[in-house]
Structure 1
Amino acid sequence: MDTGRDDRLGEFRGLAGPHWVLRPVRGGPEWEAEPREVRLAGPMERLRAEIARRNALSSEGRP
């Protein structure tokens, strides 16, 4: 959760200098975040993200 961007949820993808690179769970453009402004997502936040990801895949006709 990127607290510097209104608790935007993203998957950790790597490092870009001193920043962390995050990507939306449902895909999309990556962004850089300050490590001190990132926190782990809680169980309900992870569940909502997984449901959204699966819904996006099913609407594309993928399992």
Structure 2
Amino acid sequence: MTARNPDAVEHTASPGVGAVMVDRRNGKVGVVMGHVGPYVQLRPPRGGREWDVPPDEVRAPTPTEELSAKVAVANRRWGR
């Protein structure tokens, strides 16, 4: 039995709009805003400029990363 690699890309399709993902290249968490050409467009959870990421360079966030992103969105909503 082989050990599961948590960083392995295990997606059959590109992540959907609104999904929280992590850019493997720099560790930044972003929300999927769309797809342009071969790239996934991520935007910081608190808003800001989107950046393009090759689909093989995104991964699902850890529970901690996902919670942190959701808190950032809530804080932005409430002006904090």
Q: Which of the five TM-score ranges fits, normalised by the shorter chain?
A: 0.7 to 0.9
Instruction: Choose which of 2, 19, 24 in structure 2 pairs with 1:3.
Output: 24
Structure with more strand by fraction: 2
Q: Which residue of 2 aligns with 1:15?
A: 35
Q: Which runs of no fewer than 5 residues in structure 1 stay unpaired?
A: none
Q: Which runs of no fewer than 5 residues in structure 2 stay unpaired?
A: 1-21
Q: Residue 13 of structure 1: SS of its match in structure 2?
A: strand
C-alpha distance in 2 between matches for 1:18 and 1:55? 32
The structure with the largest alpha-carbon Rg is 2
Structure with more helix by fraction: 1
Q: Residue 56 of structure 1: SS of its match in structure 2?
A: helix
TM-score by length of structure 1 reads: 0.79
After TM superposition, list the pairs within 5 Å mapping 1:6-45 onto structure 2.
6-45=26-65
The structural deviation recorded for 1:41 is 0.8
Identity %: 39
Runs of at least 4 residues of structure 1 off by over 3 A? none
TM-score by length of structure 2 reads: 0.65
RMSD value, Cα? 1.4
